[in-house]
Amino acid sequence: MYLNQLTLTNFKNYKSEKFAFSPALNFITGSNGAGKTNVLDAIHYLCLGKSYFHSIDLNSVMHTKNFFRLEGDFGNEEKLNITNVYQQGGKKELAKNSVVYQRIIDHVGLIPVVMITPDDQLLIDEGSEERRRFIDNTISQIDHTYLENLVAYNKVLQQRNAALKKFAENRNVDHALLESYNEQLAASGKNIFSMRQKYFSSMIPLLEKKYELLSNQKEKVTATYNSVCSKENLLDALKRSTAKDVATQRTNEGIHKDDFDFFLNTRSLKKFGSQGQKKSFLMALKFSQFEIIAAEKNETPLLLLDDLFDKLDEQRSENILKLISSNGFGQVFITDTNEERINKFSGQTNKEFEHWSI
């Protein structure tokens, strides 16, 4: 699958703009604030129905306007037209060939996408929520039942937490209600756990290998997955923590607490990694995500590389460019502030490319 043409209306800094893209390489260059990242985010909206960066669609509406509209013409064997319209105060509408989706999540997986941006540093430096978001994003694009389970789990979790707050207000605990929530959480939670375990364990060897490649074997990295479910039956864990949950008015155990630890030469990557090492790790992690999605879907995802060369030394940049020029990749978008660097690279590649200077 690839994107032929993108039309933006009132989207962030674009009032009305059209881009035609190559099915292979696409370079977008321009100075800081020109709107390079915004183009990638527009593509992300069309692939997954939401922004890569935030969950508030109003932030993507051009200031002083009250709607945005995005349209993408995708193609491989058959043409695919996707539109995404958000009206302030209204609902966001995503449509495939003019047919509006009832639920946006039903679109997820149709156009696989992997995005890499400098903001991904949060995956290493911030709390566990960012890391769960990453694995959820990966598996959701591969398996629709995962996303269904996740939506179901989060809904019950919210209900359980609301009930716990109410119990504290009323000084009265409804144990039967909690038990019913526990069973529902355990049912969807177990499926989520086994899928996370499956895909994360196939991702780790890829991650290790790709990091070696990027760093010319200078360092080694690895990762581990930690979940209450690897130590205890989820239903037992929920029952065990019920007294604590009532006291703290929230659900303390469950797959919503899962985390992933990253290591550089056996030490914490977050504490001891340099900026370039962290960036290399993120690239290796995302390229592993790409490979897993590509293998499972039998289709190469769109690859969105924002500020690709930022913080990378020449050797690592070259290794990445070699990788991207190899055959396993489909349509790739690369943004950079440095026009010369892109000209140099596009002069070397034998792939078809398009260069937008904005």
Ligand X SMILES: Nc1ncnc2c1ncn2[C@@H]1O[C@H](COP(=O)(O)OP(=O)(O)OP(=O)(O)O)[C@@H](O)[C@H]1O
Which is nearer to Mg ion, 45 or 199 (by Cβ)? 45
Radius of gyration of the CA atoms of the chain, in A: 22
* Least distance in angstroms from the C-beta of 58 to ligand X: 8
Which is nearer to ligand X, 57 or 253 (by Cβ)? 57
Q: Which one of 6, 12, 254, 312 is in contact with ligand X (CB under 6 A)? A: 12
Stretch that binds ligand X, among 16-24, 32-40, 89-97, 213-221 (CB under 6 A): 32-40
Which is nearer to ligand X, 269 or 308 (by Cβ)? 308
Q: Which one of 56, 63, 78, 314 is in contact with ligand X (CB under 6 A)? A: 63
Q: Which one of 9, 13, 121, 317 is in contact with ligand X (CB under 6 A)? A: 13
Q: Which one of 26, 29, 37, 241 is in contact with ligand X (CB under 6 A)? A: 37
* Least distance in angstroms from the C-beta of 113 to ligand X: 17
* Least distance in angstroms from the C-beta of 46 to ligand X: 16
* Count of positions on this chain that bind ligand X (CB under 6 A): 16
Span 313-342, contacts to ligand X by CB under 6 A:
337
75 forms part of the interface with ligand X (CB under 6 A): no
The string over 130-147, giving b where at least 16 C-beta atoms fall within 10 Å of a residue's C-beta and e elsewhere, is: bbbebbbbbbbbbbeebb
Total residue length of the chain: 358
CA-based end-to-end distance of the chain: 25
Stretch that binds ligand X, among 29-37, 146-154, 226-234, 238-246 (CB under 6 A): 29-37
Stretch that binds ligand X, among 58-66, 128-136, 148-156, 221-229 (CB under 6 A): 58-66
- The CB density around residue 189, as the number of other CB atoms within 10 Å, is 29
Q: Which one of 2, 4, 17, 62 is in contact with ligand X (CB under 6 A)? A: 62
* Least distance in angstroms from the C-beta of 212 to ligand X: 29
Give φ, ψ of 337 to 5 degrees.
-85, -20
Our CA angle for 67, 52, 273, nearest 5°, is 150
Q: Report DSSP letters for 249-312, one per residue.
A: TS--SSGGG-EEEEEETTEEHHHH--HHHHHHHHHHHHHHHHHHHHHHHTSPPEEEETTTTTT-
Residue 321: partners with Cβ closer than 8 Å, 6 or more residues away: 345, 348, 349
For 9-12, the CB contacts below 8 A with 24+ separation are 9/68, 9/69, 9/70, 10/61, 10/62, 10/65, 10/67, 10/68, 10/69, 11/38, 11/42, 11/60, 11/61, 11/62, 11/68, 11/69, 11/70, 12/38, 12/41, 12/42, 12/60, 12/62, 12/68
* Least distance in angstroms from the C-beta of 114 to ligand X: 18
Span 19-48, contacts to Mg ion by CB under 5 A:
37
Stretch that binds ligand X, among 1-9, 34-42, 210-218, 348-356 (CB under 6 A): 34-42
Which is nearer to Mg ion, 324 or 334 (by Cβ)? 334
Q: Which does 35 bind (CB under 5 to 8 A by kind): Mg ion, ligand X, none?
A: ligand X
* Least distance in angstroms from the C-beta of 286 to ligand X: 18
54 vs 59, 77, 159, CA distance in Å?
A: 8, 33, 24
Stretch that binds ligand X, among 59-67, 128-136, 261-269, 338-346 (CB under 6 A): 59-67
The answer to whether 305 touches 29, Cβ cutoff 8 Å, is no
Stretch that binds ligand X, among 61-69, 132-140, 212-220, 228-236 (CB under 6 A): 61-69
288 vs 41, 147, 201, 350, CA distance in Å?
A: 21, 20, 11, 24
* Least distance in angstroms from the C-beta of 129 to ligand X: 23
Cα separation of 311 and 118, whole Å? 9
* Least distance in angstroms from the C-beta of 44 to ligand X: 12
Q: Given the rule CB under 5 A, which residues bind Mg ion?
A: 37
Q: Given the rule CB under 6 A, which residues bind ligand X?
A: 12-13, 30, 32-38, 59, 61-63, 307, 337
